[in-house]
Chains A and B, each alone.
Chain A
Amino acid sequence: MTTALLDVSGLSCRRGGRRVFDSLSFSVAGGELLALTGRNGSGKTTLLRAIALLVPAQAGQVRWQGEDVRADREAWCRRLAWLGHQEGLKGDLTVAENIAVAERLRGHVPEPARLQAALLAFDLDRLAHRPVRTLSAGQRRRAALARVVASQAPLWLLDEPLNALDAAARAALEAALSTHLAAGGLAIAATHAPLAGARALELA
């Protein structure tokens, strides 16, 4: 049995005076994919944002290898790859530029080979030099997923990654996920549709 890298214990979040979730505890080990399920408004997005420290938790802790992630926010940010509801892509930049800029913002020098591989994984090589504003919703989603793959971060936080994806893109995502997990990575995905190989955590 692998030991858990990510430990969430007693996490509670409140928004607008309303409890979103209360004393939530779970852990995720290397090579594991956790699927957050639950009805709309059950707090899946808030939980992802709380893990990323984008939303403050009223109580509880998020630990990585036993250490509270709030102790070193920057080190924690380096371990994260984020895919939100909005893709975080600039419409006036091309797909390749978007991914390269995101890498630079993370403090990495983009490696052409790695970017190329990420684009190929989502069948984006022909779209690489198209401005993002000309892409369809599904193509944008793929571009954002390619950005996640290119980051090589150990923990992926994905909010509704399957949104707008067709069957081929979905297969590409599952392939990318299984490569990531096989290399010892972790992923947490908020999702409505079932994801292959995922352990589900239902939020009430």
Chain B
Amino acid sequence: MSGVGALFLRDLRLVWRRPGDVAVVLAFFVVATVLFPLGIGPETNLLARIAAGILWCAALFASLLSLDHLFAADYEDGSLDLLLLAPWPLELAALAKCAAHWAVTGLPLAILAPLLGVAFGLDDRSLLVLALTLLVGTPALSLIGGLAAALTLGARRGGALLALLALPLCVPTLIFGASAIEASATGEGFMVHLAILGALALVSLATLPWAIAAALRQAGE
């Protein structure tokens, strides 16, 4: 088995040993989403209209919330040095870690979101589109957040800074993710949105591992 796969499995195993960390993130997602009807009022028409935006924003925050540990744990316990000294490209290590993060946050969020969508009165088709957009879009969020996490290693005010760096970069993903659901609800085709969302994820996939690796290298200096 290659080093990349070993790193991916190691991170999954670490999460498996502490399932509470993932549970907290998912619980945050649910609670944050539920607050909106309480704040706005239970009017079904209004809720159905804004459901896409709310669910996407909550997914974005939940995804960011779990990111400050992504590299910080390795940075603090010295494992980052072992990754920097692994005889294969650090870019792959960045990718493996982001993939592991996605597998334990983005993926469960995509599965959980339609259940919450029901409570917002989304129709069946929109629920499906919601799950699809999250499935396609959250990898980009994991990569963008991964970059912010790598850049803020050892920085003061790490957590808040991470959000400040990541949020503006997440805007395109948020826009196309939420608008796909809206387009589907109004009967327009959502494939264009989904395709652009996929393109955004691919651009992140093609560029961000290099940036993350560069950030990790300078953190190791």
* A touching B, CB within 8 angstroms: yes
| Contact between chains at B1 and A104 (CB < 8 Å) | yes
- Which chain B positions have C-beta within 8 A of A91? 77
- Which chain B positions have C-beta within 8 A of A54? 81, 84-85, 220-221
| Contact between chains at A106 and B3 (CB < 8 Å) | yes
Min C-beta distance of B14 to chain A, whole Å: 5
Majority SS at the chain B contact face: helix
In the bound complex, how far is the Cα of B12 from the Cα of A93, in angstroms?
12
In the bound complex, how far is the Cα of B126 from the Cα of A196, in angstroms?
71
In the bound complex, how far is the Cα of B85 from the Cα of A78, in angstroms?
8
In the complex, whether B82 has a CB less than 8 A from a CB of chain A is yes
| Contact between chains at B85 and A92 (CB < 8 Å) | no
In the bound complex, how far is the Cα of B84 from the Cα of A84, in angstroms?
12
In the complex, whether B10 has a CB less than 8 A from a CB of chain A is yes
In the bound complex, how far is the Cα of B7 from the Cα of A49, in angstroms?
22
Within 8 A of B (CB), among A71-120: 74-75, 77-78, 80, 82, 84-93, 97, 101-102, 104-107, 109
- Which chain B positions have C-beta within 8 A of A104? 1, 3, 6
Min C-beta distance of A37 to chain B, whole Å: 22
In the bound complex, how far is the Cα of B6 from the Cα of A52, in angstroms?
22
| Contact between chains at B3 and A105 (CB < 8 Å) | yes
| Contact between chains at A105 and B6 (CB < 8 Å) | yes
Instruction: For the complex, count residues of B whose C-beta is within 8 A of A.
Output: 24
| Contact between chains at A88 and B78 (CB < 8 Å) | yes
Q: A54 — nearest CB in chain B belongs to which residue?
A: B220
In the bound complex, how far is the Cα of B76 from the Cα of A33, in angstroms?
29
In the complex, whether A56 has a CB less than 8 A from a CB of chain B is yes
- Which chain B positions have C-beta within 8 A of A90? 10, 14, 77, 79
In the bound complex, how far is the Cα of B88 from the Cα of A109, in angstroms?
15
| Contact between chains at B6 and A77 (CB < 8 Å) | no
Min C-beta distance of A161 to chain B, whole Å: 14
In the complex, whether B2 has a CB less than 8 A from a CB of chain A is yes
In the bound complex, how far is the Cα of B78 from the Cα of A91, in angstroms?
12
Within 8 A of A (CB), among B59-84: 76-79, 81-84
Within 8 A of B (CB), among A127-176: 131
In the complex, whether B87 has a CB less than 8 A from a CB of chain A is yes
In the complex, whether B125 has a CB less than 8 A from a CB of chain A is no
Min C-beta distance of B62 to chain A, whole Å: 22
Q: A46 — nearest CB in chain B belongs to which residue?
A: B221
In the bound complex, how far is the Cα of B11 from the Cα of A93, in angstroms?
10
Q: B93 — nearest CB in chain A belongs to which residue?
A: A105
In the complex, whether B156 has a CB less than 8 A from a CB of chain A is no
Interchain CB contact (< 8 A) of B78 among A74, A85, A101: A85
| Contact between chains at B88 and A92 (CB < 8 Å) | no
In the bound complex, how far is the Cα of B109 from the Cα of A5, in angstroms?
53
Q: A80 — nearest CB in chain B belongs to which residue?
A: B85
| Contact between chains at A107 and B78 (CB < 8 Å) | no
- Which chain A positions have C-beta within 8 A of B76? 86
| Contact between chains at A107 and B87 (CB < 8 Å) | yes
Q: Can you name 19 extra interface pairs (CB under 8 A) apart from A84-B81, A104-B1, A109-B1?
A: A49-B221, A52-B85, A55-B220, A77-B85, A82-B81, A85-B78, A87-B78, A88-B78, A89-B78, A90-B10, A104-B3, A104-B6, A105-B3, A105-B6, A106-B3, A106-B86, A106-B87, A107-B86, A107-B87
Q: A residues within 8 Å of B by Cβ?
A: 49, 52, 54-56, 74-75, 77-78, 80, 82, 84-93, 97, 101-102, 104-107, 109, 131
The 20 listed contacts between A and B (C-beta, < 8 Å) are A52-B85, A56-B221, A77-B85, A84-B78, A86-B76, A87-B77, A87-B78, A88-B81, A89-B78, A92-B17, A93-B13, A93-B14, A101-B10, A105-B3, A105-B6, A105-B7, A105-B83, A107-B3, A107-B88, A109-B1
